[in-house]
Amino acid sequence: MKPDKNKLLSWAKRNIKLFNLPAEDIHTITLAVAGECNLRCRMCDIWKQNPLKEEVLSIGVLNNIFISKKLKKLKCVNFTGGEPFMRGDFEEVYKNFTYLHPKANCVISSNGFFTDRIVNFFRRAGKTGRISLELSLLGLKTHNFIVQNDAALLCLNETVLKIKKLFPDLSIAAKFTITPWNYSEIEETVGYCNKIKLPVYLKMIENVKSYTNHLNYEKNALNKEFLFTDQQKENIVNSLLKVKGKSANGDFVGLLIKKLKFGYMHSSCFVNFNSMFINYNGEVYRCRELGRIGNIGCESLDAMITASSAKAAGFNGKNPKCLKCDSLYRALI
Ligand code: SF4
């Protein structure tokens, strides 16, 4: 199901001026507010981490991030994890954020397992018009196998149905990551999402060193864990061609098809450098190519942003050689 055209148009109007922001003005920030997870996805290292309590971004540290001068023009925060709803004080984090950035949009990425916690969170969240909930759905047959929990799909479904019924204003969408385990279920899963009117975003698993793949990256690369055979790629292309118009990010699906057929996705980097990622342990990134720009526990965020901005501006849309990632850019849901 495609997102509402009017909603997209109004998003574009609101955000068009952001494309000309200097690299020092951050408009989108992704915050991994939890270093733990309640599921155990086969392609993810997060649940294997054992974060120390004092390592995880505290309320005080998060507040300092929210009041950063470089975040004055912030338009969107993406709370992710691990699983954000594992965090006991997540409501407080969210309330502090909306108090300090009342006009910003908020995307929460979750696996949807904790139905009651999620529903209660939105009951107390107040206006839900500026929040989007993005739930990871990994295939109708293999979801439970991939996340290694027999009740996961049932809980996820319950969450979707309850949220849709109780909070009709809330934008809710599914994210389907194509892996070697579920690639044959693309059409079926997108069809199901269309049937229940749940917009679905597609992306491919990437064999890159990242915060979800930092412990076993070398081993996975050696074992070609996330690589597809030529036959599998052909099957995926055929499925993607069929669902391109039915997914919420058909333009990105077009790029995925290009990547699978020709080996590259785009001719220059299109990561927006007015965005940044902060991991649960305070490590700050603007993109993989720039690497870690510092740690929030040792340096001020504003200083890190200033120090990295000239380099970031040089990359933005002008780096034809960087094909290091298949970054899923977001038309905000
Ligand atoms: S992919 Fe997401 S849901 Fe799965 S283990 Fe990792 S953090 Fe948890």
- Is the Cβ atom of 47 under 6 angstroms away from ligand 1? yes
**The predicted structure's pLDDT at residue 195:** 97
Q: Is 41 in the pocket of ligand 1 (CB under 6 A)?
A: yes
Å from CA of 287 to ligand 1 middle: 21
Q: What average pLDDT score do residues 15-41 get?
A: 81
Q: How many other CB atoms sit within 10 Å of the CB of residue 231?
A: 8
Share of the chain above pLDDT 90, in %: 57
pLDDT at 220: 77
Mean pLDDT within 8-18:
54
On the question of pLDDT at 117 being above 50, the answer is: yes
Which of 78, 36, 38, 77 has its CA nearest to residue 280?
36
Best CA proximity match to 21, nearest among 67, 76, 62, 78: 76
**Which numbered atom of ligand 1 lies nearest the CA of 40?**
5
- pTM here is 0.88
- The b-or-e profile of 240-256 (16+ CB within 10 A means b, else e) is beebbebbbbeebbebb
Cβ of 44 below 6 Å from ligand 1: yes
104 has pLDDT over 60 = yes
**From the CB of 135, is ligand 1 less than 6 Å away?**
no
Nearest CA to ligand 1 atom 3: 111
**How many residues appear in the chain?**
333
Distance from the alpha carbon of residue 24 to the mean position of ligand 1, in angstroms: 31
Read off the tokens for 280. 């649960």
Specify the residue with its C-alpha closest to ligand 1, atom 7.
82
39 lines ligand 1 (CB under 6 A): yes
Q: 45-101, pLDDT tens digit by residue?
A: 889 888 877 788 999 999 999 999 999 989 999 999 899 999 999 999 999 999 999
Mean pLDDT calculated for residue range 10-18? 53
pLDDT tens per residue, range 272-331: 668 889 999 999 988 776 778 899 988 999 999 998 887 776 665 555 556 666 665 544
Tell me, in angstroms, the distance from the centre of ligand 1 to residue 311's CA.
32
**Atom 6 of ligand 1: nearest residue by CA position:** 44
Indicate whether residue 80 lines ligand 1 (CB < 6 A): no
Nearest atom of ligand 1 to the alpha carbon of 109: 2
Burial class from Cβ neighbours inside 10 Å (0-12, 13-18, 19+) for residue 219 reads exposed
Backbone angle region of 277, left / alpha / beta, with phi > 0 → left and psi within -120 to 50 → alpha:
beta
Lowest mean pLDDT among 114-118, 153-157, 189-193, 247-251: 247-251
43 CA closest ligand 1 atom index = 1
pLDDT on residue 333: 34
Helix (H, G, I), strand (E, B) or coil at 226: coil
112 close to ligand 1 (CB < 6 Angstrom): no
For ligand 1, pick from 31, 38, 41 the residue to mutate: most ligand atoms within 8 Å of CB: 41
**What residues does 294 pair with on adjacent strands?**
284
Residue 19 has pLDDT above 50, yes or no: yes
Is 85 touching ligand 1 by the criterion CB < 6 Å?
no
* 3-class state of residue 27 by DSSP: coil
Per-residue pLDDT, 284: 93
Angle between helices 186-195 and 230-243 (to 10 degrees): 20
Cα 167 to the center of its chain, rounded Å? 22
Q: How far, in Å, from the CA of 110 to the mean position of ligand 1?
A: 8
81 ligand 1 Cβ < 6 A: yes
- In our burial notation (b when 16+ CB lie closer than 10 A, e otherwise), range 268-300 reads ebebbbbbbbbbbbbbbbbbbbbeebbebeeee
Q: What is the mean pLDDT of the chain?
A: 86
- Residue that wins the pLDDT comparison between 183 and 50: 183
pLDDT score, position 321: 53
